[in-house]
């Protein structure tokens, strides 16, 4: 397939290009090359590349930054997505929109299914949900893919931050009452590449298997990395930040599993990430 991937320089965009290029022709501009908030530029890019499918991975993912600048958050995640959805629909091209567990409020006592009602409690979640609405209303040929806690070897993410902070502090305090599915960008990319082969449009949750709190995740990162920095679990109420994450951000991958798309456990993914990270550093 000929794929156009927005946000091509981001964690997921890089992973899709790296893992999908052997099978697909991929054009993956970064935001500096393709500004999704520019409707004419988006329409022109789609007209020029004539993709078989668009993967809209570009987004403002700075969760706290969205709280500080709501207009920018909605401009990028809402309007930008609306532009991509409209242009892809006009071209008769299917779209994959990458969304987030932050569209839920975290109040359920079980993992969130694809068909549970979103109710975001942060600007980030609200802006990403606005993108979901734009995609579902403008382009009937759509895949909405929600994911959580994404990381890769070189991006700005929780895993890389923990490994850096462990070298700078004698002890770390980490939130232990907010849960989700740690998801390796490489596995997420493969899951999306499988999904687009199915032709089964709809809403999907695609994450690595298993769940963890931020503290549990950090403990496993340090264990597998041989890091001995001690950690102290704390409630989220003691960690001051602009945004309020869902306490329960765990996603159930029911719909994708029904298509045979099931990602490995996050422990396995983390081991592979650390191995590749070491190779890249060496």
Rounded CA gap, 140 and 146, in Å? 17
CA angle 138, 58, 24 (to 5 degrees): 85
Buried b (16+ CB within 10 A) or exposed e, 154-188: ebebbbbebbeebeeeeebebbbebbbbbbbbbbb
In order of 75, 176, 272, the CA distances from 49 in angstroms are 24, 46, 34
37 close to 45: Cβ distance less than 8 angstroms:
no
- Catalytic positions are 124
DSSP-derived letter for residue 269 is H
**Coil, helix or strand at residue 141:** coil
């Amino acid at each position: 397939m000929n794929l156009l991937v927005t946000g091509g320089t981001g964690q997921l965009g890089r992973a899709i290009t790296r893992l999908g290029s052997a099978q697909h022709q991929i054009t993956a501009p970064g935001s500096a090359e393709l500004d999704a908030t520019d409707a004419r530029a988006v329409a022109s890019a789609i007209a020029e590349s004539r993709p078989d499918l668009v993967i809209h991975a570009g987004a403002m993912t700075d969760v706290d930054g969205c709280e500080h600048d709501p207009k920018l958050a909605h401009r990028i995640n809402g309007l930008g997505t609306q532009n991509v959805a409209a242009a892809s629909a006009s071209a008769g091209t299917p779209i994959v929109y990458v969304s987030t567990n932050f569209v839920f409020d975290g109040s359920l006592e079980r993992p969130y299914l694809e068909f549970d009602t979103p109710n975001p409690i942060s600007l980030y979640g609200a802006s990403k949900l606005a993108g979901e609405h734009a995609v579902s209303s403008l382009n009937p040929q759509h895949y909405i893919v929600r994911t959580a806690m994404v990381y890769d070897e070189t991006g700005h993410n929780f895993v890389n931050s923990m490994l850096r902070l462990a070298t700078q502090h004698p002890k770390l305090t980490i939130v232990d009452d907010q849960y989700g599915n740690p998801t390796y960008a490489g596995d997420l990319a493969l899951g999306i590449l499988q999904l687009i082969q199915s032709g089964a449009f709809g809403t999907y949750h695609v994450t690595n298997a298993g769940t963890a709190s931020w503290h549990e995740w950090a403990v496993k990162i340090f264990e597998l990395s041989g890091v001995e920095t001690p950690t102290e679990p704390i409630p989220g109420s003691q960690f001051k930040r602009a945004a309020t994450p869902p306490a329960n951000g765990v996603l159930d991958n029911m719909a994708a599993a029904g298509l045979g798309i099931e990602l490995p456990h996050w422990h396995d993914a983390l081991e592979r990430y650390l191995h590749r990270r070491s190779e890249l550093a060496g």
